[in-house]
């Protein structure tokens, strides 16, 4: 029975991957969106905004945030397939298969997360052009962070999708969700230097902790001067929560907690929704 469940989850996930790889327009747009932000905000503003310290430039600061943003944007789209499958009646077919509703959500999330990670890996190729070296050690450090962020945020997209029956409505709500999540998360500015009200909003945003963990992994190796580290720590080496500067592990623990809440709520909502 357990083997059949895992097989069912993989079939659902593989179907999501096939849908993504067969849609060339979606692939192109999903890659151009973060690259556009990188060029406009990173390269475009780098000549206007001074270096955040002597060793880290604005483009290098923005890039990890855009990488996390790419993962989050693609992961939220995991909910799109639930709405589309409900419109086509495919959800009813899934429900008669030997796979419970929790398994369906896991499969949808896994498929959406894998497509999000693939886009992040492509974006990593661009990193040397903005002055960030991608070493094997750095990639190994990113391996637990990006998938956890993708899976956790996909739970939010699925939770929203369980309440919506129209793809058009879901796309509108998704756009309304994405931009506040991105701009409040400190993708383009240091959270700790923001006004108090914005800082508070950022710290209840799960993406903030995903951005912070990825940024710490990228930027920490660039800071070799102890004096520079002291001046820079409040900006890039961890957001401060209840007077404590967050580490990468602590950031990802909070992302995990958010993700678990999204999945529990999503499964509960999906179980109470008609197919």
**pLDDT tens-place string over residues 115-162:** 888 888 888 887 777 667 778 888 888 888 999 999 999 889 888 888
Segments of the chain with pLDDT less than 70: 1-2, 4, 41-57, 97-98, 130-131, 221-238, 273-275
Bridge partner residues of 240 (DSSP): 245
> Could you report the per-residue pLDDT of 32-52, keeping only the tens digit for each?
777 777 777 666 665 555 555
Residue 94: its pLDDT value, please? 74
192 Cβ contact list (under 8 Å, min separation 6): 199, 234, 235, 239, 240
The string of DSSP letters for 225-252 reads: -HHHHHHHHHHHS--EETTEEPPHHHHH
Q: What is the pLDDT of residue 209?
A: 92
Do 30 and 119 meet the contact criterion of CB atoms below 8 Å apart? yes
Cα dihedral across residues 18, 19, 21, 23: positive or negative: positive
pLDDT at residue 43, rounded to an integer: 62
Q: What pLDDT does residue 57 have? A: 66
Predicted local distance difference test score (pLDDT) of residue 244: 82
pLDDT in the model for residue 1: 61
Predicted structure pTM score: 0.82
CA distances from 7 to 19, 42, 272 (A): 18, 43, 25
């Amino acid at each position: 029975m357990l083997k059949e469940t895992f097989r069912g989850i993989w079939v659902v996930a593989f179907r999501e991957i096939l849908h993504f790889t067969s849609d060339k327009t979606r692939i192109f747009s999903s890659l151009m969106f973060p690259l556009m932000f990188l060029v406009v905000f990173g390269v475009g503003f780098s000549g206007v905004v001074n270096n955040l310290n002597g060793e880290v430039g604005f483009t290098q600061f923005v890039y990890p945030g855009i990488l996390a943003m790419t993962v989050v944007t693609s992961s939220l789209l995991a909910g799109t397939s639930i709405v589309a499958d409900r419109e086509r009646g495919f959800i009813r077919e899934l429900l008669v298969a030997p796979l419970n509703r929790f398994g369906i959500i896991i499969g949808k999330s896994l498929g959406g997360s894998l497509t999000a990670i693939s886009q992040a890996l492509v974006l990593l190729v661009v990193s040397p052009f903005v002055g960030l070296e991608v070493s094997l050690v750095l990639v190994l450090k990113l391996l637990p962070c990006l998938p956890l962020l993708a899976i956790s945020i996909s739970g939010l997209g699925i939770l929203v999708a369980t309440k919506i029956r129209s793809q058009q409505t879901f796309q509108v709500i998704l756009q309304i969700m994405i931009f506040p999540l991105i701009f409040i998360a400190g993708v383009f500015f240091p959270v700790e230097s923001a006004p108090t009200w914005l800082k508070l909003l950022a710290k209840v945003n799960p993406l903030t902790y995903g951005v912070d963990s990825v940024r710490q992994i990228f930027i920490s190796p660039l800071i070799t001067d102890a004096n520079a580290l002291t001046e820079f720590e409040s900006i890039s080496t961890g957001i401060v929560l209840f007077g404590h500067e967050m580490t990468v592990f602590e950031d990802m623990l909070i992302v995990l907690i958010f993700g678990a809440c999204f999945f529990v709520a999503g499964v509960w909502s999906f179980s109470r929704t008609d197919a």
